[in-house]
């Protein structure tokens, strides 16, 4: 997919583990892993809101559009 | 609860039918000989029906195996999965196969034309069910991968 998820980068910047974020956001580690690996088909606004709140970032910091060759 | 009972009923009926089909492999010629005595059809028609039966048997057994797998998945609550779509698709081809096999046989024994039509229609219905199932699988995956 042309949408790249930069959640790992944001987690590293905030020095936070996936487990910690999952706990704070109230989602399972498995679901967070689906999001991180780019397997997710859609992201709920409420999930996005919670992630951005906990990571103190903008949705644009988490996702990036990369043109496919 | 009711649907589980229904699935279990289908499961055992399917196995019973498979058993009957397997038994018929051995007894079908004798059965047709008895039928010939009760209602004479002629050597040619009887031979055509027997050949048709033996040509259909592998397809029917494969279809019954597909139903068995399908019902087993339903009992395990694995309903909207890609594997079930594959089984339904194979079931459709089995119905179409039996319909096609019966076409030349129907030239010798006309009433088999009903079998041709019924199996072709069943293939169409199963094709529709397959499309519905494929759409359901897609919706489930979409739902499952919505975070």
Is the pLDDT assigned to residue B81 strictly greater than 70?
Answer: yes
ipTM: 0.71
Task: Output the pLDDT for position B144.
Answer: 82
Of 1.10.260.40, 1.10.3720.10, 1.10.287.3510, 3.40.50.720, which CATH number belongs to A3-65? 1.10.260.40
Task: Encode pLDDT of B89-136 as tens digits.
Answer: 999 999 999 999 999 999 988 989 999 999 999 999 999 999 999 999
Is the pLDDT assigned to residue B1 strictly greater than 80?
Answer: no
- Identify the band that residue B4 occupies on the pLDDT scale cut at 50, 70 and 90: confident
Both structure tokens of B129 = 């069910």
Q: From the CA of B16, how many Å to the nearest CA of chain A?
A: 42
- Is the CB of B142 less than 8 angstroms away from the CB of A42? yes
Residue length of chain B: 147
Domain ranges, ordered by start, for chain A:
3-65
Longest dimension (CA), chain B: 69
Task: Encode pLDDT of A18-54 as tens digits.
Answer: 999 999 989 888 888 988 888 888 889 999 999 999 9
Determine the Cα–Cα distance for residues A1 and A6; give it in Å rounded to an integer: 14
> Would you call B5 an interface residue with chain A, using a CB distance cutoff of 8 Å?
no
**Most confident residue range from A3-7, A26-30, B81-85:** B81-85
Task: Encode pLDDT of B31-44 as tens digits.
Answer: 988 888 888 888 88
- Is the CB of A47 less than 8 angstroms away from the CB of B147? yes
Determine the Cα–Cα distance for residues B63 and B52; give it in Å rounded to an integer: 16
The number of beta carbons lying within 10 Å of the beta carbon of residue B83 is 12
Q: Best mutation site among A1, A21, A36, A41 for testing chain B: the one with the most B CBs within 10 Å?
A: A41
Task: Output the pLDDT for position A37.
Answer: 87
- Identify the band that residue B65 occupies on the pLDDT scale cut at 50, 70 and 90: very high
């Amino acid at each position: 997919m042309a949408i790249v998820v930069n959640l790992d980068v944001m987690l590293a910047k905030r020095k936070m583990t996936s487990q910690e974020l999952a706990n704070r956001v109230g989602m399972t580690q498995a679901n967070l892993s689906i999001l991180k690996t780019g397997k997710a088909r859609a992201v709920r606004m409420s999930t996005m809101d919670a992630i951005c709140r906990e990571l103190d970032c903008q949705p644009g910091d988490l996702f990036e559009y990369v043109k496919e060759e | 609860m009711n649907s589980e009972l229904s699935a279990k009923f289908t499961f055992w009926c399917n196995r019973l039918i498979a058993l009957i089909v397997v038994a018929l492999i051995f007894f079908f010629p004798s059965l047709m000989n008895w039928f010939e005595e009760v209602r004479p059809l002629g050597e040619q028609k009887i031979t055509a029906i027997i050949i048709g039966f033996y040509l259909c048997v592998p397809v029917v057994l494969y279809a019954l195996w597909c139903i068995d797998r399908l019902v087993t998945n339903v009992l395990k609550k694995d309903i909207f999965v890609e594997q079930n779509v594959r089984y339904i698709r194979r079931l459709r081809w089995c119905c179409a196969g039996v319909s096609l096999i019966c076409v030349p046989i129907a030239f010798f024994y006309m009433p088999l034309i009903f079998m041709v039509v019924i199996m072709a229609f069943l293939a169409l219905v199963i094709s529709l069910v397959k499309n519905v199932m494929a759409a359901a699988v897609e919706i489930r995956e979409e739902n499952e991968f919505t975070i």
